[in-house]
Structure formats: C-alpha cells, structure tokens
Amino acid sequence: MSETTTTAEDLRARALKLDAADPLADRRKLFALDDGVYLDGNSLGALPVHVPARVQDVLTRQWGELRIRSWGESGWWTAPERIGDRIAPLVGAAAGQIVVGDSTSVNVFKAVVAATRLAALAGGGRDEILVDATTFPTDGYIAASAARLTGHRIVPVDPADVPGALGDRTAAVLLNQVDFRTGRLHDLPGLTAAVHAAGAIAVWDLCHSAGALPVGLDEHGVDLAVGCTYKYLNGGPGSPAYLYVAERHQAVFDSPLPGWNSHADPFGMTPDYTPADGSVRGRVGTPDIVSMLTLEAALDVWDGVSVDAVRAKSLALTDFFLECVEAYVPAGRVTSVTPVAHAERGSQVALRCDEAEPVMSRLIERGVVGDLRRPDVLRFGFTPLYVGFADAERAARVLAEVLEETPAG
C-alpha cells in the first residue's frame, strides 16, 4: 500500500512537471473542456471555443443577409480548395493538392476507382486491389464496391504482409496509416515505396493520423490519400473529409464522381464534361458550407503549431499513460494491444480487457471519457492540443479504481 502511494505521488509529481514544461500547454484554453478527462478526441475532437461565434456569422450575416451573394463575396465557392490548403501543411502536402468535401467513405470511393485508372494508364493486366485486412470497415466495403464496378479483385492483407502480396497483378493498395482499433502505426514511407516498386498506386487513409503525427504525403510520394476532419483536426461532428491527389497525377486523375463542381467551367453548364485542373478536380457537388466553414474556423487552433511538437508530446503522453497503467492497474486485468515501439504507435492506447463494456461505462460516469471497440477493447485517444500529463495519470488511476470495483469475468 505504501509502495503504491509512493508511486502515485511520484507519478503525479512527474505529471505536473511534464505539464509545466509542455510547449503545447497553452493550446488547451482554446477548447471547450470540463473538469473531466476527454480521451475520445480520436473519435470526435473537442470544440474550439471561438467556433460558435464564427458559425453565427456564417448563418446570420453570410446566409441571412448576403444570401446568394455569399457564394462569391463570402468565399463559399472556393472553400473546398481553400480549406484543403489549410490542412495541407498538417499532412505534409504542398498547396493545391487537397480538396475538402464529402465523407471519408465517398472519398475512398473516388480514390480507389481513380487509383485503378491510374494503374491502367501505366499498363494493363493489373486486376487486384490490396486492402488492409484490419481496416476500418467502411474502407473495405467501399473498396469492394469499387472493385466490383471496375472489374478488380479485392485481396485482404495484413499491412505487414503487403510487400509479399504485391505483384504484377496489383493495381492499387488501400491502407490506413494508423489502425483504428489497436492504434498501430503502419510504415507509410516503406509501404509506399514497396507499392511503387511493384508498379502499383498507394492510397492512404489518414483518419487516425492527421493532426496526431507527421504524415509526409509529398515527401514519401504518396499517390492518393483521404481523411476525416472530426478527430484530431477538431472540425465538428461529421465534418467534411478530404482528398489528396498528388500533383503529378492531377492531369490524369479520372474521378468516378465527376459532379459539376469539378468542371472546368461549372457555370457554363454545358452538357459535356471537361474536368478542371488541379485539386478542384476532386470536388463533386455543391459544398456543404455550414459544416465546411465550421471546420475552417476550427483549424485556427493549429496556427503556429508544429506537427513535430504534437508528435513528441503524443508519444510522451502515451508512454506516460502506459507507465501509469502498469503502476496502478492490478496485474492481468488489461493488456495493451498498442505497440510499445514509437515507430509503430499512433496517438491512442488500446487496452484489451475482458470487462471492457462495464469498465468503460464506469469510467465515463467518473469523467474519464474513452470509448469501446467491441467486444473487448478500451480505446484512449491522446490529443496533444488539449490533453495533458495529469489527465493521463488521472485516467490510469481511475481505470485502476474501476477495475478494482469490477469483478474479473
């Protein structure tokens, strides 16, 4: 007992020191948070406090007073590419390669179909799409639909086994940079290089990595990428997703959803389709302005933030949380399925626990909000802009208390 107390005192003291030295500590006040510990920012990022006032202006002045004129005067029409350029530096992309709009699922569809078309341009006979077997389900469902419509075959493969599965038949490979369940970080540079060595197209889903770690889309030569904006980017519930098309592919990017917003002259309203140049070619229909400008406002919290600093804090936070769990939690009750190696870890910690469902309910009752991936995974997301080390220590401590009250199954 006295040993535990000493450990707790020590961990709490270290948490305070780490928080005091945290160069991102000043960001927390930009968010609407209560006295609980919010570790679900990997599912829905917290509200930046300045956002409601900005959205009020969109509603009352831009829509309410200017109405139709806002398409030009308030910059509505160009929002998808303008906001894409705000996201670009967070994922290591130069401007002009990202458009915001539609859901992640719809963007996966655009990217996978377009990837098979890019592969076909480079030579025929490629009829396989490799898809991360542990992917977030929608990617797999949508890739299967894309394969069915384009005459390809889906090959489910564990990301680690991708290099061995690549071959002359591989048209495209769809992978998640960070696994939604385990928090495992896959090797984007190495896997992209392997995909290219096989003559195939690499499509990355950044939902669980953008805003949490450096992605380096341009540096690593990624072909196409998609991601959501409501997790680490804090864009709001269901905020629009984005599509990255590397500049070298834009002139031949062939979208399966060639809506009028991607036309070279959308207001010409001609019956023939002529695609626009640049990232705009990834647009589809009329942009969802209220959600889109909510996201645009929310992105202000990134001004002046270095993604490297975010990554450093993220690793320190998840290290520290794992250490606290190790110190506090009774042996054998939880097992981390998140890799220990930094090179393999995203910004969440996933703990396997036989009593995951009642444990998460009790954690939430006590103000520690994580989430559950059925049947037995407790997920804790660490969003470096607003989670601190004292939060991590408290979450582990409350987890231990809850486990002590919850009989082992």
C-beta of 225 vs 307, nearer to a second copy: 225
Minimum distance, C-beta of residue 130 to a second copy, in the bound complex (Å): 14
Catalytic residue among 231, 333, 345, 397: 231
Q: Of 100, 176, 177, 230, which lies in the binding site for a second copy, with binding defined by CB under 8 A?
A: 230
Q: Which stretch binds a second copy (CB under 8 A): 262-270, 325-333, 335-343, 383-391?
A: 262-270
**Dihedral angle of Cα 61, 67, 72, 76, to the nearest 10 degrees:** 70
311 flagged as catalytic: no
Backbone φ and ψ for 173, nearest 5 degrees, come out as -130, 125
Q: Is 149 in the site for a second copy (CB under 8 A)?
A: yes
Strand order in the sheet with 377-381: 335-336, 348-352, 377-381, 371-373
- Part in contact with a second copy (CB under 8 A); list of ranges 1-9, 83-91, 210-218, 367-375: 367-375
CB of 70 or CB of 336, closer to a second copy: 70
> Which residues are annotated binding-site positions for pyridoxal 5'-phosphate?
104-105, 136-139, 205, 208, 230, 260, 286
The answer to whether residue 376 forms part of the interface with a second copy (CB under 8 A) is no
In the complex, minimum distance from the CB of residue 160 to a second copy, in angstroms, rounded to a whole number: 17
Q: Note the maximum CA span of the chain.
A: 79
Phi, psi of 182 (to 5 degrees): -95, -15
Q: Which is nearer to a second copy, 220 or 394 (CB)?
A: 394
Active site residue 232: no
Catalytic residue chosen out of the listed positions 31, 136, 180, 386: 136
Q: Does 382 bind a second copy (CB under 8 A)?
A: no
Residue 136 designated active-site: yes
Cβ 2 to a second copy shortest distance, Å = 38
Which of 230, 232, 242, 380 is flagged as catalytic?
Answer: 230
Q: Which of 132, 187, 205, 288 is catalytic?
A: 205
Interface pick for a second copy out of 164, 190, 268, 330 (rule CB under 8 A) = 268
In the set 184, 379, 394, 397, the catalytic residue is: 379
Task: State which residue, 99 or 292, has the beta carbon closest to a second copy.
Answer: 292
Q: Tell me the window of 131-139, 161-169, 191-199, 354-362 that interacts with a second copy (CB under 8 A).
A: 131-139
142 binds a second copy (CB under 8 A): yes
Residue 99 Cβ vs a second copy, minimum distance, rounded to whole Å: 13
Question: Do strands 201-205 and 368-369 pair parallel, antiparallel, or not at all (unpaired)?
Answer: unpaired
Nearest approach in angstroms of CB 126 to a second copy is 17
With CB under 8 A as the contact rule, the residue among 18, 24, 44, 178 that binds a second copy is 44
The one segment of 69-77, 184-192, 197-205, 337-345 that binds a second copy by CB under 8 A? 69-77
Upstream peptide bond of 375 is cis (omega within 30 degrees of 0): yes
Can 379 be counted among the known catalytic residues? yes
Question: Which position among 13, 133, 197, 251 is part of the footprint of a second copy (CB under 8 A)?
Answer: 133
Q: Kindly identify the residues of this chain, within the stretch 295-334, that bind a second copy according to CB under 8 A.
A: none
- Tell which one of 169, 196, 352, 373 touches a second copy (CB under 8 A): 373
* Binding residue (CB under 8 A) for a second copy from 24, 27, 37, 38: 38
Q: How far apart are CA 364 and CA 399, in angstroms?
A: 10
User: Is position 205 annotated as part of the catalytic site?
Assistant: yes
Q: Least Å distance between CB 236 and a second copy?
A: 5
Part of the chain binding a second copy (CB under 8 A), chosen from 103-111, 186-194, 327-335, 339-347: 103-111
Q: Are 166 and 119 in contact (CB under 8 A)?
A: no
Rg (CA), the chain: 22
State the CB neighbour count (10 A cutoff) for residue 362: 17
Residues tagged active-site:
136, 205, 230-231, 379
